[in-house]
A and B are shown apart, each in its own frame.
Chain A
């Protein structure tokens, strides 16, 4: 989708991607795990410009979401 191609064309690596519909069937939530680099501010501004993106929220590195799902990805 547009979000992933925005990161791909700027070669901004995304370590983890999670996407599921929310309770409201017309909306999905997308979690991206990325390195906190100098370009992140600009990426967030560019994300906000995308037509499909309603809101962007930034969370700390220690957020549980990838930890918990991570269990299903262990080798």
Chain B
């Protein structure tokens, strides 16, 4: 063993700042935006990572432009903001994908046109002129050709763009959006029931106070949280996104709780996902972190089960467990407070107690495996071909296969 001395820790990395903005492109982008009758702003993870949410929000409000967010962009705009259309793409609310069909200008800020967001690319925003701002030149024109592509830090780009943009009052386009929301609403079954898949998310959100952070693993629970949770600020939402990592939720929640000891960190997870890093329960206990783990337990790999049930003629394979793991017992073994919504008489009190008591807790939430996440755009389909809960029939399946 040796003893090492040093004066100070090495400095953190500093961002390169050698981007010179192409002012002609900025001007051209402003022209497109000003001439647009039905603009939509498409915000991705880049807005969160570059901490540009404030500028993005100011721009959206100046334009009165309806805004969609990717999975990684959630929180850039509060979910309940009047201009927010929520998440787009594979599990978007029906009105969101319909709105994108009708837009004539798509302003992409820090987003990469991932297939989960676009669906069948040729049919994504088919009539829209695209203005694409990204820090990475290789993302421009990779999936969809942009009318104007701007390589820049988002804050810098918006700073240059904003003075050239005309303020817009709410107009017929905003009315059309409201109309679409009425015609194609988002349906979340059993929201009032705190023991249902959507209900647990809604009730937990309602009961949380103060600073909160939400992490998830991967699967149906993740999609439901993305659809239903009322995010309020950037970096509140921690999920693995395109890297799709089961096992992410608990360690991410631990990290967040270590960094923000005064906050409550909620990890929504699945029975499949929690098994991938379950040993970290002891880390949460040892550090006495405010991590509340809600295990959405359908005793299966839910999203895989859903796909096999819908698109593979119900041939369920390797997505169902034959024995049910007792997560409450496991948590007790790790000396963590544990609760079971399945056997309790008063779910609201149980959830309230679990959230109120400082320190880590695990709450088992039994979910019916046949409850699916809707809407869902079938693989290879266009966003407008999304399946809705009440319209899934054998005929629809056959049509999609063709």
Contact = CB atoms under 8 A, between A and B. Distances in A.
Contacts of B136: 49
A65 interface: no
Nearest to A44: B138
B137 interface: yes
Interface residues of A, number: 5
A28 interface: no
A49 B142 CA distance: 15
Contacts of A46: 138
Contacts of A49: 136, 138
A42 B112 CA distance: 14
A49 B137 CA distance: 9
Contacts of A54: none
A46 B136 CA distance: 10
A45 B137 CA distance: 7
A17 to B, nearest CB: 22
Interface string A29-51: 00000000000001001101100
B132 to A, nearest CB: 14
Nearest to B137: A45
Contacts of B138: 42, 45-46, 48-49
* Listed residue (A45, A48, A49) with the most chain B CB atoms within 10 angstroms of its CB: A45
Contacts of A48: 137-138
Contacts of A42: 138, 142
B134 to A, nearest CB: 12
* Listed residue (B136, B137, B138, B142) with the most chain A CB atoms within 10 angstroms of its CB: B138
A48 B136 CA distance: 11
A19 B51 CA distance: 41
A4 B136 CA distance: 21
5 contacts: A42-B138, A42-B142, A45-B138, A48-B137, A48-B138
Interface of A: 42, 45-46, 48-49
